[in-house]
A and B are shown apart, each in its own frame.
Chain A
């Protein structure tokens, strides 16, 4: 990815101070709040819901891209990490309901998300350590199995609602994750994974994708790095899961059926749509998938057939995905300023 090294917004002004960065983040959140309000007034609640879905998809796609795109491994069980995050978040919120959740719902959501991230990350390490020593298809098979184990385990756990899912009885998940929360989570995901991708660490990961033996000869402990990428990917997938569970625009309903293999495949489709290896491409892929699935509702029963045809069409016309392995750089379109190059 030669053209992309400094293309991400995050990597552009590396010297900005922490306080300015925090200010930027707060401004972004303020912008998201405005987007939410304006959308609600002019386009209604349904549009806000679609935007929230875009944010969750973006998080999922950017996370998976770190493993499947940048590092060149093949995971097809990310729905499992999403489930771990969703249930860990929901349980935490449930436990906090009487105390923190009552006093300060936002802080409760933060704690729930933190727990979700930790749990999903640990699950990532547990799956990654044994399987990432191996090359090629093994990871795909192990992650596939992992996803199914998680789903079936939850199904048979009555305290978690079994296959009926959550809410159990009258106990619903607090609807705390509004659009600014979800987009804030997506922004954080893009910043962290984007900065990681375009750094010495990301270079090491890309080197592993390009030639594992040469990467070892260049001093890179490949197994350790693959596990690192896999764990970070799982962490942010868990974050997406937790925000999905608390999604205030949706039904705050989670059940094991939401985390089947087809969810993993969906995430993979977003990454391939956007272009394997591109962070902004993954965001775009997530958005395109969410929006096109909604627009296709007109076709009713034929919706998924039309969707499949669209996918085939894109793969025939643009097999490298929308952005290939390049990054979208808005500054390229600004007059009088040359886009920074690596």
Chain B
């Protein structure tokens, strides 16, 4: 078997940081090849070198016998290497079909003159491209949404649209950057099948960067493992899985399933801190939240769980006043929030670590934390909270002067939580803290959440990782397509077969 793509002695330095320090591998033709490793291993940097986003400091990348290191990104796409992005990068304001058509630009035969004069060649070409784009959309079940604005698609559809756009380039190699991020396990299983089908149907070589081990082990034929910029293992999934170096790097030494001792709910229920009743939220004509009622009592950790598109984040955004509600009410500490603006909420004692983390990339870690304490004027309190944040997340303490944007995904999530705590909130809202983060860091984050709760802080947690969420929470609400279908004690829900049913039933998006 010949190599479709080969990387040898690749090095990429950013200032003094060696993000990739001499990595070599060969991706066999028509294989599904996995590039894995914990956060900060340098996987995405390798990806960016291969796709021309970065010119590597040293080393060679060869595609079909041609050296491509340092070739501009558009040229590499032109040669036949297509990619998707970890944090979906669609052309948000363009329609679904236009997103795909953008990538047809390189195969179109129409010249500028044909375009301006609307010649027959342009018309034929345009028709052919549209037909091809529709075929791809149909393959991903998106043909009915062709004229919809891309940014209005649900998350899973956006991921698939990105793949459709990449395929429009007629690539020989397809690079997928964490395609399973944000999918639940049923959706992830469907994705595995789709990746295999894609390879066969479009005659591709697939290079995959992924955190979801179920997907990696299920679909990859060969795996290359990186840690801190270096290769630590290479081989078939079964071999890599047992490699002690991989286990240690990936799962952390002495890793075990989270077994936080669960406390019984207090006899006397505390007062209600947050009360949501019959909340409805709509995007345009689409009802995203259809009458949700829930309550969070002081000192509780309440989880809001459900599949993608169930309306969890929308609910959280409506509570935090970042989305207008259509009807219903939200009361915090007895006060109606209908006329309260998002920034006033922070002063009232509600803080949020939003989905996608939203840290300030060009501020240092310290400055990010200081921004979190914007409403606090007591310098002593700020200093004390900053020490507390470092105690909670020692990694942040080591990186106080580093720019937020240079942190890895997991570290950014820690920063987002620490920043939210800086305002000294009564209620902390966490939106998908585990999204796209390596398991070892997810453990650390959930341990920290547990410690925060033990200190008496009330937490509302939105999480699509059900097992984790139910292990951490006391009570939970299960959402399916904008409605609460189940609620109650977290321990009881964890063993309730109906919870899994809620995921596998109509809440599932991937068809």
**Closest beta carbon of chain A to B510's beta carbon, Å:** 23
Residue from A199, A211, A214, A217 whose CB has the most chain B CB atoms within 10 Å: A217
Residue from B75, B115, B148, B169 whose CB has the most chain A CB atoms within 10 Å: B115
Assembled-state Cα–Cα distance A217/B73 (Å): 6
Tell whether, in the assembled complex, residue B90 and residue A219 are in contact, meaning their CB atoms are under 8 Å apart: no
Mark A182-226 against chain B: 1 for CB-CB distance below 8 A, else 0. Answer: 000000000110011001110110110011011111111110000
**Closest beta carbon of chain B to A73's beta carbon, Å:** 16
Tell whether, in the assembled complex, residue B94 and residue A217 are in contact, meaning their CB atoms are under 8 Å apart: no
Answer whether residue A257 sits at the interface, using C-beta atoms and an 8 A cutoff.
no
Assembled-state Cα–Cα distance A88/B338 (Å): 62
Answer whether residue A167 sits at the interface, using C-beta atoms and an 8 A cutoff.
no
Closest to B151 in A: A210
Closest to A2 in B: B95
| Interfacial chain A residues near B110, Cβ < 8 Å | 199-200
Tell whether, in the assembled complex, residue B118 and residue A11 are in contact, meaning their CB atoms are under 8 Å apart: yes
With A207-B102, A218-B169 already in contact, the answer to whether A2 and B92 are too (CB < 8 A) is: no
Tell whether, in the assembled complex, residue B74 and residue A207 are in contact, meaning their CB atoms are under 8 Å apart: no
Chain B contact residues (Cβ within 8 angstroms of A): what range? 35 or more
Tell whether, in the assembled complex, residue A2 and residue B105 are in contact, meaning their CB atoms are under 8 Å apart: no
| Interfacial chain A residues near B73, Cβ < 8 Å | 213, 216-217
Tell whether, in the assembled complex, residue A204 and residue B98 are in contact, meaning their CB atoms are under 8 Å apart: no
Tell whether, in the assembled complex, residue B115 and residue A196 are in contact, meaning their CB atoms are under 8 Å apart: yes
| Interfacial chain A residues near B169, Cβ < 8 Å | 218-219
Tell whether, in the assembled complex, residue A211 and residue B74 are in contact, meaning their CB atoms are under 8 Å apart: no
| Interfacial chain B residues near A206, Cβ < 8 Å | 91, 93-94, 98
Tell whether, in the assembled complex, residue B118 and residue A222 are in contact, meaning their CB atoms are under 8 Å apart: no
Assembled-state Cα–Cα distance A48/B56 (Å): 62
Answer whether residue A10 sits at the interface, using C-beta atoms and an 8 A cutoff.
yes
Tell whether, in the assembled complex, residue B105 and residue A14 are in contact, meaning their CB atoms are under 8 Å apart: no
Tell whether, in the assembled complex, residue A217 and residue B77 are in contact, meaning their CB atoms are under 8 Å apart: yes
Chain B stretch 80-98: residues in CB contact (< 8 A) with chain A:
82-83, 85, 89-95, 97-98
Answer whether residue B434 sits at the interface, using C-beta atoms and an 8 A cutoff.
no
Assembled-state Cα–Cα distance A228/B168 (Å): 24
Chain B stretch 136-186: residues in CB contact (< 8 A) with chain A:
147-149, 165-166, 168-169
Chain A contact residues (Cβ within 8 angstroms of B): what range? 35 or more
Assembled-state Cα–Cα distance A192/B115 (Å): 9
Tell whether, in the assembled complex, residue B122 and residue A203 are in contact, meaning their CB atoms are under 8 Å apart: no
| Interfacial chain A residues near B91, Cβ < 8 Å | 206-207, 210-211, 214-215
Tell whether, in the assembled complex, residue B105 and residue A200 are in contact, meaning their CB atoms are under 8 Å apart: yes
Tell whether, in the assembled complex, residue A219 and residue B103 are in contact, meaning their CB atoms are under 8 Å apart: yes
Tell whether, in the assembled complex, residue A219 and residue B122 are in contact, meaning their CB atoms are under 8 Å apart: no
| Interfacial chain B residues near A207, Cβ < 8 Å | 91, 94, 102
Answer whether residue B337 sits at the interface, using C-beta atoms and an 8 A cutoff.
no
Tell whether, in the assembled complex, residue B77 and residue A218 are in contact, meaning their CB atoms are under 8 Å apart: yes
Assembled-state Cα–Cα distance A341/B115 (Å): 18
Assembled-state Cα–Cα distance A218/B53 (Å): 12
With A210-B91, A217-B77, A342-B147 already in contact, the answer to whether A204 and B105 are too (CB < 8 A) is: yes
| Interfacial chain B residues near A10, Cβ < 8 Å | 118
Please pick, from B74, B83, B89, B116, the residue contacting A220 in the complex, using a CB distance under 8 A. B74
Closest to B114 in A: A199
Assembled-state Cα–Cα distance A13/B459 (Å): 60
Tell whether, in the assembled complex, residue B115 and residue A201 are in contact, meaning their CB atoms are under 8 Å apart: yes
Tell whether, in the assembled complex, residue A214 and residue B85 are in contact, meaning their CB atoms are under 8 Å apart: yes
| Interfacial chain B residues near A228, Cβ < 8 Å | 112
Please pick, from B89, B122, B149, the residue contacting A14 in the complex, using a CB distance under 8 A. B122
Please give 5 more A-B residue pairs, beta carbons under 8 A apart, in addition to A216-B52, A218-B169, A219-B77.
A5-B98, A207-B102, A213-B73, A216-B77, A217-B82
Interface residues of chain A, those whose CB is within 8 Å of chain B, are: 1-2, 5, 10-11, 14-15, 18, 191-192, 195-196, 199-201, 203-204, 206-207, 210-211, 213-222, 228, 325, 341-342
Q: Which 8 A-B pairs have the closest CB atoms?
A: A2-B95, A210-B91, A219-B77, A216-B73, A214-B89, A219-B106, A218-B103, A199-B115
